[in-house]
Amino acid sequence: MGGVLWCTTVLLGVLLLNSALFVNGGSTSSFVRKVEKTIDMPLESDVFRTPPGYNAPQQVHITQGDQVGKAVIVSWVTMDEPGSNTVSYWAQNSKTKRKAEGFLTTYRFYNYSSGFIHHCNISHLQYNTKYYYEVGIGHTPRTFSFTTPPEVGPDVPYTFGLIGDLGQSYDSNITLTHYEMNPTKGQTVLFLGDISYADQYPNHDNRRWDTWGRFAERSTAYQPWIWTVGNHEIDFAPEIGENEPFKPYNHRYQVPYKSSQSTSPFWYSIKRASAHIIVLASYSAYGKYTPQYKWLEKEFPKVNRTETPWLIVLMHSPWYNSYNYHYMEGETMRVMYESWFVKYKVDVVFAGHVHAYERSERVSNIAYNIVNGICQPVKDQSAPVYITIGDGGNLEGLATNMTEPQPEYSAFREASFGHATFDIKNRTHAYYAWHRNQDGYAVTADTMWFLNRYWKLEEESTST
Ligand SMILES: *[C@@H]1O[C@H](CO)[C@@H](O)[C@H](O)[C@H]1NC(C)=O
Ligand SMILES: *[C@@H]1O[C@H](CO)[C@@H](O)[C@H](O)[C@H]1NC(C)=O
Ligand SMILES: *[C@@H]1O[C@H](CO)[C@@H](O)[C@H](O)[C@H]1NC(C)=O
Ligand SMILES: *[C@@H]1O[C@H](CO)[C@@H](O)[C@H](O)[C@H]1NC(C)=O
Ligand SMILES: *[C@@H]1O[C@H](CO)[C@@H](O)[C@H](O)[C@H]1NC(C)=O
Ligand SMILES: *[C@@H]1O[C@H](CO)[C@@H](O)[C@H](O)[C@H]1NC(C)=O
Ligand SMILES: [Fe+2]
């Protein structure tokens, strides 16, 4: 495909009809990107190199280990033998080395046998402190570092990075590089699901989980990535008797779900600095009476906006998506949960899945019931902004086909790869910026000052 039809759609007719609802129409970016096939980096690429040394730990990654950010789960893989489960760690300004003991897991999938996958929760850390940690003790130790977040509190500044549907193509590498080079300096990644895309390979070639782990290590070993599951993590194959969904993912990635009284790693919450982050599962049951429903029903009332003003929800499949890809896939979950999102004034919802970028107005569509027929999204200042950021750059390529005309609730959309940052300044203000990969590291392509829905329920202005 040599070119894509790009339209700037400011739909005057529709605008006039609905001017009571929407003063500003949405815009489709006129940025023209040359669409090339997105291809995975070959197995022998520099970013996939195994670290030298016998049984050297690889694919090192960390995530938050508890509800408040005083624990970190460290994970790594050794290939030659099980090796040690121990993590040695010490604060930057301290000579005292502590040790924590983790556990080991392995799995088989098709004809693939995993390496030795280690997970270790290190806890009772001090807030706002740089720690070094060492894994691979006994054979080839490797040392990394991370900084714990400040204590949970209402005016703590904190910067989250947003990356979705990353995969391991050349574009994925560019996305990760841009995230690393972004002068805004994200401190923690909120990952929106679809990690390695190993399931796109014959026999779900699980070596592609290993290559992904080695590729992303340069970020995942140094700052927590908060995991949301996507459809490419489901990764099951009943035709060969692999009936357990999420098997490779479950062995490789751990999340602190028990700390938020969840019964499943696919939905959970954490608090970090001034944010309360709820992670939902698009691919687990969410209907009434299901475990996820019951958990979320209890979770929302627990959110304390005096302690954590910012309420952020992550999910894979977007509810408000105006691309002709995965269209309406998020609809059934929206029907179940949207009224809670409005009632509890969620600030922003980040989703992935659609390989493009889109930001909505603050809208809700919750008036409908089976007899009244009222089913239009309406402007609603208590509603979240919905952002689709499935544009990490995986091998499936960009989603370029958009519904026309652009619906009015869609504030901005563009089919480009990129990442975003959500930079919390204090309890009332957060600066959000989306960066497309074609621009310089500091260039923003879509920005918005978020005003907190609990502390400053005023209409925001945006610029693109
Ligand atoms: C798994 O099977 C594929 C296809 O038959 C083959 O190419 C690959 O080498 C096998 N891998 C292992 C680890 O046996
Ligand atoms: C990936 O990006 C890094 C950092 O920009 C670069 O050093 C490396 O050569 C890239 N690798 C590939 C295969 O594109
Ligand atoms: C990690 O340890 C802390 C402190 O004991 C605990 O609260 C948390 O639940 C643990 N996390 C995991 C994933 O085991
Ligand atoms: C909410 O958090 C604030 C600040 O930490 C605290 O003083 C208050 O007691 C909490 N409210 C509830 C209902 O727990
Ligand atoms: C875009 O998607 C629509 C709806 O699925 C389809 O009818 C149309 O052919 C697609 N256009 C292109 C250029 O692929
Ligand atoms: C919160 O941050 C915004 C943006 O930096 C600033 O304009 C505002 O004055 C801050 N509010 C307080 C109370 O400091
Ligand atoms: Fe997806």
Q: Amino acid letter at 123?
A: S
Query: Do residues 91 and 129 lie in contact, with contact meaning Cβ atoms separated by under 8 Å?
Result: yes
Pocket test residue of 41, 46, 168 for ligand 2, highest count of atoms within 8 A of CB:
46
User: Can you give the pLDDT at residue 25?
Assistant: 56
User: Can you give the pLDDT at residue 34?
Assistant: 65
Q: Which ligand is nearest to the CA of 67?
A: 3
User: Can you give the pLDDT at residue 336?
Assistant: 98
- The DSSP result for 368-404, as a single string, is --TTT-----EE-TTSPEEEEE--S--TT-----B-S
Q: Amino acid letter at 14?
A: V
DSSP code of residue 309: -
Of 153, 161, 218, 170, nearest to 191 by C-alpha is 161
435 an active-site residue?
A: no
Pocket test residue of 155, 159, 426 for ligand 6, highest count of atoms within 8 A of CB:
426
User: Can you give the pLDDT at residue 2?
Assistant: 32
Backbone angles phi, psi at 112, to 5 degrees: -95, 135
What are the pLDDT digits (tens) for 76-119? 999 999 999 999 999 999 999 999 999 999 999 999 999 999 99
Of 343, 318, 346, nearest to 333 by C-alpha is 318
Local structure of 210: helix, strand or coil = helix
What are the pLDDT digits (tens) for 160-205? 999 999 999 999 999 999 999 999 999 999 999 999 999 999 999 9
CB 174 near ligand 2, within 6 Å: no
User: Can you give the pLDDT at residue 463?
Assistant: 61
> Which positions of the chain have pLDDT values less than 50?
1-24
Cα-atom radius of gyration of the chain, to the nearest Å?
22
* Other beta carbons within 10 Å of 354: 28
How far is 62 from 453, CA to CA, in rounded Å?
Answer: 31
Q: Out of 178, 232, 251, 326, pick the active-site residue.
A: 326
Of 452, 433, 453, 451, nearest to 443 by C-alpha is 433
